[in-house]
Amino acid sequence: MCCLFGAGRSGGGGLMCCLFGLIDYRDTLSRRQKTKMVRALAETSEARGTDAAGIAYNAGGTLQIHKRPGPAHTIHFTVPKASKVIMGHTRMATQGSALKRKNNHPFAGKARGEGFALAHNGVLHNDKVLRRVHHLPPTAIETDSYIAVQLLEQQGTLNFDSLRFMAEEVEGSFCFTVLDRKDNLYFVKGDNPLCLYHYPELGLYLYASTEEILRNAIGKMRLAGQPESITLHCGDILKIDAHGRMDHARFSPSKFLCAFSPYFWPQSPMPVPAKRHVPEDPEAAYLDELRTIANWYGYDNTLVDTWLADGFSTDEIEDFLYCGEL
Question: Can you give the pLDDT at residue 282?
Answer: 56
The reply to whether 156 and 243 lie within a common domain is: yes
Q: How confident is the model at residue 275 (pLDDT cuts 50, 70, 90)?
A: low
Hey, what amino acid is at 29? L
Question: Can you give the pLDDT at residue 307?
Answer: 81
pLDDT in tens, 224-271: 888 999 999 999 999 999 999 999 999 998 655 554 444 333 333 334
**Residue 97 clears pLDDT 70, i.e. is over it:** yes
Longest CA–CA separation in the chain, Å: 54
Query: Is 2 a member of any domain?
Result: no
How many Å from the N-terminal Cα to the C-terminal Cα in the chain?
A: 20
The reply to whether 232 and 311 lie within a common domain is: no
Do the Cβ atoms of 212 and 315 come closer than 8 Å? Answer: yes
Residues of the chain with pLDDT > 70: what percent?
81
Out of 106-120, 280-294, 300-314, the most confident range is 106-120
The reply to whether 267 and 292 lie within a common domain is: no
- Please spell the DSSP secondary structure of 102-157, one letter per residue: GGSSSEEEEETTEEEEEEEEEEES-HHHHHHHTTPPP-S--STTHHHHHHHHHHTS
Q: How confident is the model at residue 305 (pLDDT cuts 50, 70, 90)?
A: confident
Number of residues written out for the chain? 326
Query: Is 12 a member of any domain?
Result: no
Q: How far is CA 131 from the centre of its chain?
A: 23
| Number of other CB atoms surrounding residue 84 within 10 Å | 25
Residues 131 and 151: their CA atoms lie apart, in Å, by: 9
Question: Can you give the pLDDT at residue 315?
Answer: 72
The reply to whether 152 and 246 lie within a common domain is: yes
The reply to whether 116 and 262 lie within a common domain is: yes
Query: Is 6 a member of any domain?
Result: no
Query: Is 160 a member of any domain?
Result: yes
The reply to whether 246 and 114 lie within a common domain is: yes
Residues 251 and 229: their CA atoms lie apart, in Å, by: 22
**How distant, in Å, are the alpha carbons of 165, 275, 278 from that of 231?**
22, 7, 11
Average confidence (pLDDT) over 150-177: 96
Do the Cβ atoms of 235 and 259 come closer than 8 Å? Answer: no
Q: How confident is the model at residue 314 (pLDDT cuts 50, 70, 90)?
A: confident
**Residue 12 clears pLDDT 70, i.e. is over it:** no
Query: Is 253 a member of any domain?
Result: yes
Domain that holds residue 293: 282-323
The reply to whether 238 and 310 lie within a common domain is: no
Pair type for strands 185-189 and 172-180 = antiparallel
The reply to whether 264 and 307 lie within a common domain is: no
Query: Is 5 a member of any domain?
Result: no
CATH number (domain holding residue 106): 3.60.20.10
The reply to whether 41 and 140 lie within a common domain is: yes
**Residue 27 clears pLDDT 60, i.e. is over it:** yes
Query: Is 1 a member of any domain?
Result: no
Question: Can you give the pLDDT at residue 271?
Answer: 41
**Residue 5 clears pLDDT 80, i.e. is over it:** no
**Residue 174 clears pLDDT 50, i.e. is over it:** yes
pLDDT in tens, 181-232: 999 999 999 989 999 999 999 999 999 999 999 999 999 988 888 899 999 9
Instruction: With CA atoms as reference, report the closest residue to 223 among 210, 235, 206.
Output: 206
Q: How far is CA 31 from the centre of its chain?
A: 24
Query: Is 7 a member of any domain?
Result: no
The reply to whether 262 and 306 lie within a common domain is: no
Q: How confident is the model at residue 274 (pLDDT cuts 50, 70, 90)?
A: low
- Please spell the DSSP secondary structure of 274-291, one letter per residue: EEEEPPS-HHHHHHHHHH
Q: How many domains are there within the chain?
A: 2
Average confidence (pLDDT) over 315-326: 62
Q: How confident is the model at residue 149 (pLDDT cuts 50, 70, 90)?
A: very high
The reply to whether 234 and 305 lie within a common domain is: no
Q: Kindly give the residue spans of alpha helices, DSSP state H, lying in the chain.
A: 31-44, 127-133, 146-155, 160-169, 211-218, 255-258, 282-296, 302-309, 314-323
Residues 208 and 242: their CA atoms lie apart, in Å, by: 19
The reply to whether 313 and 193 lie within a common domain is: no
